[in-house]
Amino acid sequence: MNFIRNHKVAAGLWTIIRVYIGYVWLTSGLGKIMGGEFDASGFLQGAIAQTGGEHPTVQAWWGAFLEAVALPNAELFTVLVMWGEVLVGIALILGLFTNFAALMGITMNFAFLFSGTVSTNAQMVLLTIFIIVAGANAGKYGVDRWVMPYMKHTWKNRKQKQNKTTLAA
């Protein structure tokens, strides 16, 4: 585990995987945005239709969520999917908020898998698990190298100021 989370060679490997996953997300999202024809309602209706029959590929609880929440808000979900893919892609490529971006990416992958797609989602889930397990080492060769220490320092200073204010009161 020390190798995965702290070793420089592992950080290089995670960088390659992280950039690859980011590229897949970015190109997928840009394709949807630039194509101008993406509409999540068709995908949602297809997933809902797969909840029935002798061998459903979508579980009933997920189909119920899609029918009650996602489909009535298909326009919102269209925007969330397109821009979510783009933003996750950019963040992973840059290594910016890497763990959060990976978490959002894996959440989208699971949503697609729950909806009955197979495509590359399972492969991306597996690779993303490695990125999440690697923790900060996955963003070591990225913008996180500077952003995360800055955020920790800023958070620590803010907390110290709040404690001083609380004690003075």
Q: List pLDDT tens digits, range 102-156.
A: 999 999 999 999 999 988 999 999 999 999 999 999 999 999 999 988 988 888 8
Lookup: tokens for 70: 């996602």
Per-residue pLDDT at 139: 92
Per-residue pLDDT at 2: 84
In angstroms, the CA 143 to CA 95 distance is 5
Count structural domains, the chain.
1
Per-residue pLDDT at 82: 97
Q: List pLDDT tens digits, range 23-60.
A: 999 999 999 999 989 999 999 999 999 998 888 999 99
Domain extent, residue 2, equals 1-167
Euclidean distance between the first and the last CA atom of the chain, given in angstroms as a whole number = 45
Per-residue pLDDT at 169: 64
Statement: residue 85 has pLDDT above 90: yes
Find the helix packing angle between 98-114 and 8-35, rounded to 10°: 50
As a whole number, mean pLDDT of residues 81-96 equals: 98
Of the pLDDT bands very low, low, confident and very high (cuts 50, 70, 90), residue 8 is: very high
